[in-house]
Structures are given as structure tokens and as C-alpha cells.
Amino acid sequence: MKERNAFNAGFGGKSPVAIGRLEELRSWRGCPDLKEGLPEDMPFLTFPLTPHEARCIPNLTKEYCFMFGQMQLSDRMLMTMRLQLDGNMFYWIAEMTDPAVWAAIDMWRKYERLPIGLKVDNGDGWSPMFLDLGFTNKTLSFEKYRAAPRREPTAHDLYEMVGLVTGYVQMQATTDFEHIPLQRVFASVLLTEQYEGVASHEPMVKKPVMVLRPDGMGATILG
């Protein structure tokens, strides 16, 4: 599957969906400063951008942060990761029990670094914008869900995630800096090995998504 594909994400139409990935550092050419001190199999968190989207990102960023979160659906928990660069926010959503995601987190903890690539589609390839963030070796608030029973990945589960990043995530996002309002929110599904098969071979069937409120008082249903 390509990094950016079209899913049946709307009523009767198709909506482009950003597909983030965990790529190995060895797959990137150049960026010697970023690679220094890191193993070749270091997971590299990527996010695809169109040239128009990339022009919205300033060359010099004054404020930035990377945060984790969680999203409770009716029958499973999702992990969220978000990067804020001044007024621009990038979201990734992933399966909470995905072993590839936790393996990446363990590597980021070990080396206390998180390499990120904002990949700009230039038509015949990708031109990356690199970031090298510090990563604190601390237990995450939702670490207890790591050992929860794993689900068998299905196209329905993937489609729920697709539905979330084509509107809901953007609408509920809030700034992580009190003095900097959000200007743009980009959201992606983090596609790992466990979803590669269902994304490529199973049909996408529209399925309502129920997102439970954090306080447990009600839910939002996405048609």
C-alpha cells in the first residue's frame, strides 16, 4: 500500500487518507547527523505530506512537543501520538496492543531519541523533513494496556481508524501550548505489519465508530 491512498471514507465518495509508518533508519539516505549514535534498525516515525501541505510548515519552529494519548472505542483501545510544531499538529493513531508500536517505543526509550520524518510527495519520490526529538525513558500512563489480549486485525478495525482521521481527530484536537492556537491538524493511520494484509486484500466496508468520552458519560457515534 502506498503512503497515501484512497479509502471509502465518506458518504458515497472517496477521501484521501494519510498513512504513517514505522520505517527503519537504514532505509533513509543522507541525514548523517540524525543517524549518529543510532542502530540501522531504529524505528523512524513517518508522516506523508503533499507539497501544498508542506508549504504550511515553517522552516524554523519556535515551539514543539511530542505527546501520547489514548482513545477508547466501544470494543477496543487505540493509542494516539501527536507532534505539535508551533500551530501545526500531526496525529498518528494505532492499535494499542500492536507489538510493532511497542517495540518502537522500547527503542526510543533505550536511546532516548525519537527520529521523525515528514515525507513530502514530490511526484517521483519523497523529500523528507527530518526531526530528531529527545525521548524520556518513562512509563506511559496507558502502559497497562500493553499486555491486553491482542485482536485479530480486520478490515473493519482498520476502517474505524480511517474514519477517525478523516474528520474526528481534526475536530477534537486541542493545542498543547496555551499561548499558541492550532492552525492546522494533520492526522494519519499508523499502518504496521499487522494491518498490511487486510489493507491490501480485504474490502473496506463502512462501519459506524463509537468513541467513548474520557469521563465515561456518553459517546460520540461517527456514521
Task: Tell me what pLDDT residue 124 has.
Answer: 67
Determine the Cα–Cα distance for residues 140 and 142; give it in Å rounded to an integer.
5
Phi, psi of 103 (to 5 degrees): -65, -40
Q: From CA 134, how far away is CA 15, in angstroms rounded? A: 34
The confidence score (pLDDT) of residue 215 equals 54
Sign of CA dihedral 3, 87, 211, 103: positive
Residue segments in the chain with a per-residue pLDDT below the cut of 50: 1-13, 202-210, 217-223
Residues with Cβ < 8 Å from 64, sequence gap 6 or more? 83, 84, 85, 86, 131, 133
User: Hey, CA dihedral for 102, 106, 112, 113, is it positive or negative?
Assistant: negative
Residues in the chain: 223
Q: What is the pLDDT of residues 147-200, one digit of tens each?
A: 898 888 888 888 889 889 988 898 899 999 999 999 999 999 999 999 887 876
* Helix/strand/coil percentages in the chain, nearest 5: 25, 35, 40
The pLDDT score that the predictor gives to residue 206 is 39
CB-based burial, 186-201: b 16+ in 10 Å, e otherwise: bbbbbbbebbeebbee
Detail the DSSP E strand segments found in the chain: 4-7, 15-24, 43-49, 64-72, 77-85, 88-95, 113-121, 126-134, 184-190, 209-212, 219-222
Q: For position 130, what pLDDT does the model report?
A: 85
CA distance 48 to 100: 19
